[in-house]
Structure 1
Amino acid sequence: MRHTDVAREEIAELLGDLFAGFESRDWNRLAQLVGEKVHLDHTSLGAPAAEELTGAELVARWRRGLHERKKNFHLLSHPRIKVDGGHAEVAVNCYACNILDAGLGGGVWECWGRHDIAWHHTEKGWKATSFVFTKAHTRGDDRIHTHTLD
């Protein structure tokens, strides 16, 4: 098997780990999967601008937004993984659903779109270094998606 085929398999596995980490709220695993510096662009979801964050800041943001009183689910399809040496680009379609606890007002938010995730190979393995989400469609209450407990 060629080196790029092995890298593609590793990244496919890590992509699954990343989204499983959101649902299981495995913040330690998520921290292992992201780089020290991370580019985040969620402008298609209403963020004012793309940002440069530390990996720790990004995981803290995920932890705050995917709190224990908000159920979340992600379904990925048709991942396209391109590897060029120690750099990889993943484009994957995604469906996401957030459901807020009834004690916080309840409600559902759904989103369809595409994640473009860049990965770089480091001495500690592959790390995700860029997350760009392009929304195709949302349905429901946007406040559920942005809800935090603070």
Structure 2
Amino acid sequence: MTHDREQIIERLAELAAALDRRDWEALGAAFTDSATGYGAAGRDGIVAVVRAHLGGCGPSQHLLGNHRVEVDGDRARSLTYARVHHQGAGPAAGASYECFGEYDDRWTRTRDGWRLTSRTFTVSHDLGDAAVLRPG
């Protein structure tokens, strides 16, 4: 079970890096085909919603911590604190937006490793100008 926990935490780090690099292919690969997340259904829908928020944003950094992972056979749940900083770009250059919250993720073990079946991010508080989040 410790190995599963480590794998899930590594998947979370890879996902955070994909968000910050705007690596849409890697973002999609983190989810199963029928996953839900960010208010969308299906891998393509999830990627589209995230692109609409980060595609026109400047640099971002998703910092994750306080990982709590529960594994039950081929299913798992992780709760992860996040602090996410976004810089503005284009018409929002010079502005920034930072949010603090918790990811509630559900996982399934696949032949390619752990993949998300659902993702919810609950913002506890935020600072700055959310207008930096915009499509590219």
CA drift of 1:66 comes to 1.4
1:79 paired with 2:67, answer: yes
In structure 2, C-alpha distance between the alignment counterparts of 1:63 and 1:52, rounded to whole Å: 12
CA drift of 1:69 comes to 4.6
- Which residue of structure 2 aligns with residue 38 of structure 1? 35
Q: Once the two structures are superposed, what CA deviation does each residue of 1:94-115 show, in whole Å capped at 9, x if it has no partner?
A: 00111111x3132111111111
Residues 1-150 of structure 1: matches in 2 within 5 Å?
A: 4-40=1-37, 51-67=39-55, 69-101=57-89, 103-106=90-93, 107-145=95-133, 147-149=134-136
Amino acid at match of 1:30: L
CA RMSD of aligned residues (A): 1.6
CA drift of 1:60 comes to 2.4
Who wins on radius of gyration, i.e. which is larger?
1
Q: Once the two structures are superposed, what CA deviation does each residue of 1:54-112 show, in whole Å capped at 9, x if it has no partner?
A: 112111222232125522111111111110001111101100111111x3132111111
CA drift of 1:15 comes to 0.8
Q: Is the 8 Å Cα contact of residues 93 and 113 (structure 1) preserved in structure 2?
A: yes
In structure 2, C-alpha distance between the alignment counterparts of 1:28 and 1:93, rounded to whole Å: 24
State the percentage of identical aligned residues.
29
Question: In the superposition, relative to structure 1, how do residues 9 and 143 fare at CA in structure 2: closer, same or farther (>3 Å)?
Answer: same
5+ long unaligned stretches in structure 2? none
5+ long unaligned stretches in structure 1? 42-50
Amino acid at match of 1:40: G
**TM (normalized to structure 2)?**
0.89
- Aligned residue pairs, count: 135
Structure 1 segments (4+ residues) deviating >4 Å: none
Amino acid at match of 1:75: L
SS at match of 2:59: strand
In structure 2, C-alpha distance between the alignment counterparts of 1:134 and 1:65, rounded to whole Å: 16
